[in-house]
Amino acid sequence: MNLTNQTPLKQQELLNWLEYHEPSLISAPNTTHGYNQLNPHINFRAAQPDKIHQAVLPQSSKNKLKEFVSLGIHTESKDDLTKNVIFNRPGQVLSLPEKPTVKLPELKYPLIKSNNTVLKLALSPYLLKDSEKMKAKSMLINYNLEKSKLLPRVVIIDSSGNRDFDMSVLRELSLCIDDIAQEQKDFAISIQWRKEVSK
């Protein structure tokens, strides 16, 4: 509301509203515009005076403070914990008990994995013999069973180095692909034919 074009009566009504901070006491409600019109027919009651607040400070006690008692010197007790502490001399190394070494089972090659899980597959001796003879490289094969109900989509990512040998490996894996998949639709199989020799 613009105060410059208000009559003194309207200005007084607005000042009353500012004092009470409650528009419903002095204005007419409207469903569209809210409280948009001052109601001059309301009689305002006078504001109540503030209550007198008097702070009562607590009175100090008349009792005097007691004098501090000096503490006695601590004497060494029989159950002193410092006697149980072992102080090592410089250069002295404490030997800890050795943990028993657990021998891991030796890996059997070829090492066939699917999703970092070692598969127990028995490949034909002819295939193993050929892998030794040609020193086949490690293979990585991706299988996708989603787009075909009959034949899976196979992609050789890393070849053994011999295409005929790759096809022989795919033929043997196709015989047990359902057991390898275990309801997976997209997975990879890695084959490491022998233990890698560190250079």
DSSP-assigned beta bridge partners for residue 184:
none
CA pair distance 174, 180, nearest whole angstrom: 9
What residues contact residue 26 under an 8 Å CB cut-off, 6+ apart? 13, 16, 17, 20, 38, 39, 42, 44
CA-nearest of 43, 19, 39, 22 to 30 is 39
pLDDT at res. 178: 85
Going by the DSSP 8-state scheme, the letter that residue 149 receives in this structure is S
b/e per residue, 70-106, with b = 16+ CB within 10 A? eeeeeeeeeeeeeeeeeeeeeeeeeeeeeeeeeeeee
- The two tokens of residue 41 are 């027919």
pLDDT at 157: 93
Question: Backbone phi, then psi, for 22, in 5-degree steps?
Answer: -140, 100
- The contacts found for 54-62 with CB under 8 angstroms, 24 or more apart, are none
Write out pLDDT tens, residues 138-195.
999 999 888 666 678 899 999 999 999 999 999 999 888 888 888 888 999 999 998 8
**Coil, strand, or helix at residue 142?**
strand
Q: What are the mean pLDDT values of the chain's consecutive 10-residue runs (199 residues total)?
A: 74 73 68 70 60 67 70 66 57 66 76 89 90 93 79 89 94 89 89 78
Please tell me the predicted confidence (pLDDT) of residue 74: 66
**Tokens standing for residue 67:** 């004098």
Q: What is the pLDDT of residue 57?
A: 67
CB contact at 8 A, 184 and 100? no
pTM: 0.47
Beta bridge partners of 126: none
Q: Percent of the chain having pLDDT more than 90?
A: 25
For CA atoms 111, 117, 121, 127, give the dihedral sign.
negative
